[in-house]
Amino acid sequence: MTATVPTLDPTSLAVDLTAGSRLWRDARVTSDTDDAASAPGQVVVGLRRPEPGTHEAHFSVALRRHEADAPVWITLMATTALVEAIRGDTGVAVWSVWPDSVVAPDGQVIAGAEADGAGDTTTVRFRVVFGSDGIPFGPAPAALEQYAAERPGVQSLVVEVLRAFERLYLRWSDFARVPGPSGLVADYASFCGSVKVEIEAGLRDGGLLVGTAEGVDTDGGLVVRSGGTVTTLAPQHVSRVRPLAVLPS
């Protein structure tokens, strides 16, 4: 399938995102690759071509930071929103991989998200690789378009991702930002391809941990049993996590 150049309609995008929303107050399209949402309630969406023939959507949102906010859990709910929206919009059986990736059925990374806080604002950045024409030498980068029966609509998917994220975030907020009672732990586990399976984690200190990922704890850490030892990984501990099992399709 040959990639088509995606487009965005700034006016309809803003209407679709802000109408009836409790979070989003302003949405705009940018061509600046370094531009990101900075004021609470703001959404910024841009399209990029990081390499020849590849089309990516990068979008970010800004939230008012709360003292109980946990960037790791906001990252996990962002990847959960990506999985929900991609499955619903395209039918592709994608999975999240702790802590910040979304993979296609063959394990190739096609999307991701990351949250970080500064001052009174938490910024969440999303990325989806939509299409790839391939490159003259070497394999084509993995892209959502390769797995979908029909070409995914960039704008509609961005809207669905942020609607899903808003539902998760508001429910979490309504339960005093506690992951368990809000249902966030269960939601994340149901869409995650790196829990209840054997995984391989590359550690930032150069080590390698292979074991069974038993789940995610209330702090958002990945609990891994290797032999008789249980280790809880935080995102800053790892450079990558790879499920060793075949993902369900």
- Supply the pTM of this predicted model: 0.92
Task: Report the mean per-residue pLDDT for the chain.
Answer: 88
What span, in angstroms and rounded, lies between the C-alpha atoms of 43 and 35? 11
Buried b (16+ CB within 10 A) or exposed e, 103-122: bbeebebbbbbbbebeeebb
Give me the residues paired with residue 113 across strands: 126
Which residue in 210, 226, 178 sits closest to 70, CA to CA?
A: 178
What span, in angstroms and rounded, lies between the C-alpha atoms of 13 and 57? 14
Q: Each residue of 197-242: pLDDT tens digit? A: 999 999 999 999 999 999 999 889 999 999 899 999 999 999 999 9
Which residue in 12, 6, 39 sits closest to 24, CA to CA?
A: 39
**What is the pLDDT, as a whole number, of residue 213?**
95
Q: How many helices (H) and strands (E) does the chain have?
A: 5, 12
**What is the pLDDT, as a whole number, of residue 246?**
80
Per run of 10 residues, the mean pLDDT along the chain (length 249 residues) is 67 94 93 85 88 81 81 94 96 95 92 89 93 54 85 91 95 83 87 93 94 92 94 93 85
**What is the pLDDT, as a whole number, of residue 6?**
66
Q: Could you tell me the domains of the chain?
A: 10-189 (3.30.930.10), 195-243 (2.30.30.100)
Query: CA-based angle 57:146:95, to the nearest 5?
Result: 70
